[in-house]
Amino acid sequence: MTNIIFIILLFVIAVSVVCSLNFSSVVRTNLIVLPIVIFSIIFLFIANTKNFSMERLYPVLGNGFNSTFIAGFWNLFAFGGLSLLYFIPPNLKDYKQFKKITLISMILSSVYLLLSISITLLMFDSFIEIDELMPLYSAVRYLEFGTFFQRLDSVFLLIWIISFSCYLTIISNLCINIFRKLTNVKNTKIIVYPFALLLFAISLIPTNIATSNFFGLTIYKYMFFILVLLISISILIIANIKNKIASR
């Protein structure tokens, strides 16, 4: 089996090469990859329609009203991607398009999320009881068109690997830009390679799935609520109050 270090290195090198170029290179790469990713999920949804059963949506409230809406409020961290919207305005050519871009991004993301969840919910009874590592991968394994087109897993894995690399590139680029502004460094290229090394080192920390889940489901969850929701709303409120005081 190939050592995990080489697989992580693959992503890190791709990220560092793209981040050392302009931000427009990142955007153009994503422009090529995004339609393929959206098409893949729509294709997966349509191709698996024969395995869907609407009755799997019941019971409607699942684990109960409290568990879904009150205790489940913390699951809003799944919408953490919305935080990227804060970083878009400085990179726009025309700031007035920001509202339109936000709306389109949110609609596309919602549709994508809805399709992904629908596939696993309508196909499998078992994922309520079983914790599956990659639910969409399980759905892909059911795809068969006659006896010729079978085993399309590798195609989807390739698409998902590329889309993950694109996501990692955007996140790394934003982190580098934030650091550059904090430290007042003009040239980003000298920051890219240390960041890549840091990314490589941190990705080697989790030694098993439990540690990864802890980072992803616990630490990231609270960071989303504190940094994205709490602090940004607090800044908005404070700025509003300051504005009102200043205008008096």
Partner 1 sequence: MKNNFIKFICIFIVFAIFIYAFSSSYVSHNINNLAYVVAIGFDTAEDSSDSSELEKIKVTFQFINTSALSEKGSSDSSTSIVNSVESSSISTAINLMNSYIGKELNLAHCKVIVFSEKFAQTDISDEIYTLINNVQVRPTTNIVVSKCDANYYIENSKPSLEQLVTKYYDVFPNSSRYTGYTANVTLGDFFNRLVCNSGNPTAILGGYNSDKYNTSSESINDSIANDSSIVGKRGTENIGLALFDGGKLVGELTGIETLWHLIIQNEINTFLVSIPDPSDNTKYIDLSLIEYAKSKINVDVNNGSPHIYLDISLSGRILNVDSNSDYTNDSYLKEISSYANSYIQSNISNYLYKTSKDYKSDIDGFGKYASKHFLTTQQWTDYDWLNSYQNAFFTVNVKSNIESGLLISET
3-state secondary structure of 145: strand
Nearer to partner 1, 28 or 151 (CB): 151
- Judged by the rule CB under 8 A, the positions of this chain that interact with partner 1 are 1-3, 6, 9-10, 13, 53, 55-56, 58-65, 124-126, 128-130, 138, 141-142, 144, 147, 150-151
Indicate the Cα dihedral angle 218, 220, 225, 229, nearest 10°.
-170
Per-residue burial over 200-234, b if 16 or more Cβ lie within 10 Å, else e, is beebeeeeeeeeeeeeeeeeebeebbeebbeeeee
CB of 245 to partner 1, least distance (A): 50
Give the residue from 24, 72, 23, 43 showing the smallest Cα distance to 176: 23
Which residues lie below 8 Å from residue 131, measured CB to CB, with a gap of 6+? Answer: none
Tokens of 103: 């709306």
Nearer to partner 1, 144 or 158 (CB): 144
CB of 218 to partner 1, least distance (A): 24
CB of 123 to partner 1, least distance (A): 9
Nearer to partner 1, 49 or 91 (CB): 49
Nearer to partner 1, 130 or 219 (CB): 130
CB of 131 to partner 1, least distance (A): 12
